[in-house]
Amino acid sequence: MPQTDPKPSLLPAGWRRQAARLPIHLFRMGLGPVFGKRLLLLHHVGRATGLDRRVVLEVVAHDPAGSSWTVASGFGPRSDWYRNLRAEPKTVIQLGNHHHAVTAHFLTRDDGAEIMARHCRQHPRTARRPCAFFDLAADGSEAAFRSAGSAIPVVRLDDAGPWSF
């Protein structure tokens, strides 16, 4: 029977945390184009501290017109970036070396399941990682992909117009 509510996940620590944060440093060095349209750098404001925070996220869906990007919270609803966006949905993302002002929209479980199922079909190897964090089946079946998609929070970042430093 598929699990519907994710278990609390353990965040990476030590060298794994440093490895996970490496793409942030590459974005800061101007090497964002290396990631193409697959990864984005999300700027967000700490809900308690008010400080600028950054995280690199995988784009799971992209509007071809370039007006929205969809990301998933691989560590669930307890991820700091996810909770920070809940508190302040207007923010900035960086793709390559281009910045975009965006507004976060939190998708329903059904919409998230559809998007994640499509993403998992296109990228089955990377789909296994978030499934493992939530103890969800990752057997490659459509049902497993939909189950994973309904358990993983999905956020659409809509372009809010021009932005400059």
Domain chopping of the chain, boundaries: 15-108+154-159
Q: How confident is the model at residue 112, as a pLDDT?
A: 86
Buried b / exposed e over 104-118, threshold 16 CB at 10 Å, is bebbeeebbbbbbbe
In the chain, DSSP assigns E strands to 39-45, 52-62, 68-72, 90-95, 98-106, 154-159
Q: How confident is the model at residue 89, as a pLDDT?
A: 96
Q: How confident is the model at residue 116, as a pLDDT?
A: 82
The answer to whether the beta carbons of residues 73 and 86 sit under 8 Å apart is no
Please provide residue 106's backbone torsions phi and psi, each rounded to the nearest 5 degrees.
-90, 120
In 77-123, DSSP assigns E strands to 90-95, 98-106
Homologous superfamily of the 15-108+154-159 domain (CATH): Electron Transport, Fmn-binding Protein; Chain A (2.30.110.10)
- Beta pairing class for 52-62 and 68-72: antiparallel
CA gap 81, 24 in Å, rounded: 14
CA gap 116, 68 in Å, rounded: 16
The answer to whether the beta carbons of residues 90 and 23 sit under 8 Å apart is no
Q: How confident is the model at residue 3, as a pLDDT?
A: 45
Taking the chain (165 residues) in consecutive chunks of 10 residues, what is each chunk's mean pLDDT?
48 72 84 86 95 93 87 88 96 92 94 84 68 60 74 91 59
CA gap 139, 156 in Å, rounded: 26
Q: How confident is the model at residue 119, as a pLDDT?
A: 81
